Amino acid sequence: MKLQPDFPIITVICGPEEFIVCDPPLDLAGNETAKEILGYGCLKFGGVNSQDVELTALKCQALPCIECQGPRTFLRQVLRLPTKRLFHRNGIRNYDAFHIRRYRNEQLRRKLKNEIFSQPMHRMQVKRLLQTTTSVLAVVESECNTPVEKHEFRAETRMLLDVVANSLYSHKEVFVRELISNASDALEKLRTLQATNATDIQAADELKIEIVTNKLDKTFIIRDNGIGMTKEELKSHLGTIAKSGTSDFVKKFKNSSHTNLEQFIGQFGVGFYSAFMVADKIEVFTKARTSDSKGYRWVSDGNGYYEIEEVENVEFGTKIVCHLKEGEAEFAEESRIQDVIKKYSNFVSFPIMINELKVNKMQPLWLLDPKDVTETMHKEFYRFISHSSNGEPIFTFYFRVDAPVNLNVILYVPDAVPDFMDMTHTELGVLLYCRRVLIQQSATDVVPNWLRFLKGVIDSEDIPLNLSRELLQKSSILNKIKSVTVSKVVKFFQEQMKKDAENYETFHSYYSSYFREGILKSQSQIEKEDIAKLLLFESSNQRSGKKVSFQDYCNRMQEGQQEIYYLCIPNRSLAEASPYYEAVKADNLEILFCYHPADEVTMLSLRQFNRFNLVSVESVLQRNRTENEVLETSDLSKEDLQNMLEWIQRTLGQDKVNEIKTTQKITTYPCMISILELGAVRSFLRANMMEKMSDDQRLRLLKPTLEVNPNHPVIVKLAKLRFKDESLATAILEQIYENALIAAGLVDNVQSVVGKVNKLINEVTQKLQT
């Protein structure tokens, strides 16, 4: 049974150890029985400078009795803490705040708080103890060889600190990225110095970054065992904003053959201060990796001042303790920090440990030799960057470029086709990295939107970043990266088209809409034609289902042919039955059949390919039409035919038919509609005015030409019927005209056409009954 002391106690927690300070003093030095019952070792130290102060400290593990001459010896040799950390001049509030924030063990923390503040007498005892100790501390601090140095940020530095902490970054979570990047650079510096055989550099164990989160204390701690900092470097790098130690280091070793400078991340010297977005106080413990180095503590609340003091028991490297603000406790959550690391810093060069668990297990495949990457590794990486638990890429391709820009790229084509109409589908596309650190979740500045279906990574050390490393500075480099990327992607798909036509056709059926979008949105004719190389169409010269490219068509062009002919139509059966195809079929021209709804506007935007103009067969007829074709034969006399054409003009009216001509280019149709640039007209109507205009208004605007085949049986019989039954002849003529509009793609209201056909059938059957 342990002795329950009848005196006020204060529990002082130091790392994994616990001490009890008693007031009034309790002398157990000569009381072996009491020591055995308590199970504590006993330490006793006397007054300093004739002050009558005695304190007894009992450590929570058996220790021999030790007498210390003064509190400084006790605190430094036994507790291993600076004096002012244990006893603070400013009273109970600061004393409590120090312990509550510093220590993680909830049980000890609660014990400390309860024992100091649970009873009024204890509060008074503690206050008296602190007041009594004040004079002792004055002597101790005057004796100390490492006084605290207080420095003031310069005026412009304070202003910049405020900008960094409050305005520079759009997301608070990026402070984790910035601190990890700094830690990575510190480790990289050490590795570089070791590679250059630098003298007086202390060797390190496994280079790594350690993070400790504590919800109870609301602290975020990050430590690296890298190069560390001297006192002067603390002043220079942390006392001056926009002073980049990494940049200085890179300049120093720029010409060294032993260094891989691409691994360094830091550029601007502001990332450390991003921690003030979430912390109201930051402590930095650091020790340079030299044999005679000392440990230092840098602390600031971000309000214009910082302090530096020499401290003991600091390990080589740098540890940063962020005391989180109210409302920022999420950054003391292990799962939250894991998510941030996976988002921004998963591919840094060194292991990242969170509470002793490794987080960044995925390798940056784009930096590995493709020969060393297995299919399984690709699957895992693809699923990681696409946030998918399953699925495999259809295509995988790498490319690396050193000029005109530095690029390391790995891209995948998903097997699950994204919704083309979802124009916001960019958040899970290509990720943009700079030196392994995420810059943009979606690389919209260097990858055109029409390639948004791709997944992967673009990493470039040439990316022009702003201070926050969240936004890119507009420059010609971005255009070069975009141009190189598009060129490489197009070239890859062309190779796949030749290598495995069947597999490419399947891919094309899924993703060709994106290619058409690229042609429509590109401002460069060269880029338009590059994208057009990826499109496939059926051809009048090939069997149904066989696809050809623009280049295939060009390779088969007739001698002297200067144009590429196409017909936009929903399917092959309609194409082969089209009056427009029939009108040019006799000329033995190869026609590309374009079935995609966007093909019409795509062809109009593309205009040409390999210097050959793209021409719709509908435009060919209108362009080559003479006033009236010379008829070889006709069942109608010249006079009857002229009268017939005049009757058609009067019956339909000037609004519906601007002009009437004869043609023998068609045999299966009695007539057809021709309009200059008919495809462009259709596209315009569908995009802008179709729903706003009536049929009569549209026709009045279009001024169509009606081309009549005088040898067609319907026309011949209609010429006679108009004299016998003009009402029925008029109804038939209007239906013939309506059919020609349908064939021209100028009628969308099919219901109205069906109604007119039924009316005509009813009228004909009634005539037959009479």
Lowest mean pLDDT among 94-108, 260-274, 419-433: 94-108
Compute the distance between CA of residue 735 and CA of residue 742 in angstroms, rounded to an integer: 10
Determine the average pLDDT of the residues in 744-768.
74
Confirm or deny that 362 is annotated as ligand binding.
Answer: no
Q: How many CB atoms lie within 10 A of CB 118?
A: 10
Using 50, 70 and 90 to split pLDDT, how confident is the model at 583?
Answer: confident
What does the pLDDT look like over 133-145, one tens digit per residue? Answer: 333 333 233 333 4
Confirm or deny that 469 is annotated as ligand binding.
Answer: yes
Range list for CATH 3.30.565.10 in the chain: 155-358
Range list for CATH 3.40.50.11260 in the chain: 536-624
pLDDT greater at residue 111 or residue 152: 152
Torsion of CA 669, 697, 617, 625, to 10 degrees: 80
Using 50, 70 and 90 to split pLDDT, how confident is the model at 770?
Answer: low
Indicate whether 418 pLDDT > 80.
no
Confirm or deny that 182 is annotated as ligand binding.
Answer: yes
pLDDT greater at residue 380 or residue 421: 380
Confirm or deny that 513 is annotated as ligand binding.
Answer: no
Q: Are the beta carbons of 109 and 100 closer than 8 angstroms?
A: yes
Lowest mean pLDDT among 8-22, 397-411, 508-522, 728-742: 8-22
Compute the distance between CA of residue 735 and CA of residue 720 in angstroms, rounded to an integer: 17
CATH code linked to domain 365-499: 3.30.230.80
Determine the average pLDDT of the residues in 695-716.
81
Determine the average pLDDT of the residues in 502-527.
94
Q: What is the pLDDT at residue 194?
A: 76
What does the pLDDT look like over 288-317, one tens digit per residue? Answer: 988 888 999 999 988 888 999 999 889 999
Q: Are the beta carbons of 629 and 574 closer than 8 angstroms?
A: no
Q: What is the pLDDT at residue 474?
A: 62
Indicate whether 578 pLDDT > 70.
yes
Determine the average pLDDT of the residues in 467-475.
56
Q: What percent of the chain has pLDDT over 70?
A: 67
Confirm or deny that 229 is annotated as ligand binding.
Answer: yes
Tokens describing residue 525: 């004719």
Determine the average pLDDT of the residues in 322-344.
94
Compute the distance between CA of residue 96 and CA of residue 628 in angstroms, rounded to an integer: 104
Confirm or deny that 178 is annotated as ligand binding.
Answer: yes
Topology of the domain covering 638-674+688-769: Four Helix Bundle (Hemerythrin (Met), subunit A) (1.20.120)
Task: Indicate the class that CATH gives domain 536-624.
Answer: alpha beta
Q: Are the beta carbons of 517 and 450 closer than 8 angstroms?
A: yes
Determine the average pLDDT of the residues in 5-15.
37
Distance of CA 313 to the CA centre of its chain: 42
Confirm or deny that 106 is annotated as ligand binding.
Answer: no
Indicate whether 324 pLDDT > 80.
yes
Q: What percent of the chain has pLDDT over 90?
A: 33
Using 50, 70 and 90 to split pLDDT, how confident is the model at 83?
Answer: very low
What does the pLDDT look like over 384-412, one tens digit per residue? Answer: 988 887 788 999 999 999 888 889 999 99
Mean pLDDT score of the chain? 74
Compute the distance between CA of residue 481 and CA of residue 460 in angstroms, rounded to an integer: 9
pLDDT greater at residue 651 or residue 192: 651
Using 50, 70 and 90 to split pLDDT, how confident is the model at 427?
Answer: low
Range list for CATH 3.30.230.80 in the chain: 365-499
What does the buried/exposed string (b/e) look like for 208-227 if buried means 16 or more CB atoms within 10 Å of the residue's CB? bbbbbbbeebbbbbbbbbbb
Indicate whether 575 pLDDT > 60.
yes
Confirm or deny that 271 is annotated as ligand binding.
Answer: yes
- Type of residue found at 457: V
Lowest mean pLDDT among 106-110, 500-504, 709-713: 106-110
Lowest mean pLDDT among 129-143, 320-334, 561-575, 666-680: 129-143
Indicate whether 274 pLDDT > 90.
no
Indicate whether 703 pLDDT > 90.
no
CATH code linked to domain 155-358: 3.30.565.10
Confirm or deny that 243 is annotated as ligand binding.
Answer: yes
Q: What is the pLDDT at residue 296?
A: 95
Range list for CATH 1.20.120.790 in the chain: 638-674+688-769
Confirm or deny that 272 is annotated as ligand binding.
Answer: yes
Confirm or deny that 267 is annotated as ligand binding.
Answer: yes
Q: What is the pLDDT at residue 504?
A: 95
Q: Are the beta carbons of 705 and 622 closer than 8 angstroms?
A: yes
Determine the average pLDDT of the residues in 506-512.
94
Identify any residues that bridge with 66 across adjacent strands, giving them in sequence order: 43
